[in-house]
Amino acid sequence: MVVKIVIMGVAGCGKSSLAKALAQVENCTLIEGDDFHSPASREKMARGIALTDADRASWLTLLADELEKSGQRVVMTCSALKRAYRDRLRQSAPDLQFAFLEITREEAQRRVIARTATHFFNAGLVDNQFETLESPVGEPGVIRLDATASPAVLQVQVSHWLRESAVNHLTEWRTV
């Protein structure tokens, strides 16, 4: 089964936790999107300065390149806040799927504050994340998840959805 999925959502929603669990269970390569931010972008975010589309363009190109060379089984984390960002990634992997971790502004803020000592992202940027977010709900190949569920529960939900998607895709292919 081919698995190419981006775990997406605003800062603090649990992208990395779910991606690690999913990659382990599904035996996939894990690509942590934060590792591909430039030092300048990391510095901006640490200082509480929101990234622009221009700042994100080279980052998205790097992530798209990683998707192209990653093989058939990959789990990637990426905020993918705008439809244009998701479409950029889809250009590199046309059957790319997205797991959208939906969370409230208050819970995201609480989580980002709690990890201040271990993550570069400034809690002052959470509001900007919500302002930038264009919900992917309704786009093809997207599952919406409650980010307050445990990573283990979310992993089971995504694994089940991936298998259902693969069966449905195979059934569609066979009937053509």
Residue spans of the domains in the chain: they are 3-175
Query: Using CA atoms, how far apart are residues 127 and 71, in angstroms rounded to an integer?
Result: 35
Could you read off the pLDDT tens digit of each residue along the chain, which spans 176 residues? 789 999 999 989 999 999 999 999 999 999 999 999 989 988 888 888 988 999 999 999 999 999 999 888 999 999 999 999 999 999 999 889 999 999 999 999 898 888 776 666 667 788 999 999 999 999 999 999 999 999 999 999 999 999 998 877 644 433 33
Architecture of domain 3-175: 3-Layer(aba) Sandwich (3.40)
Query: Using CA atoms, how far apart are residues 83 and 34, in angstroms rounded to an integer?
Result: 19
Question: Long-range CB contacts (< 8 A, 24+ apart) of 109-114?
Answer: 109/12, 110/12, 111/12, 111/13, 111/14, 112/11, 112/12
Tell me if 100 sits within 8 A of 9, measured CB to CB. Answer: yes
pLDDT at 119: 66
CA torsion sign, 127 to 128 to 132 to 137? negative
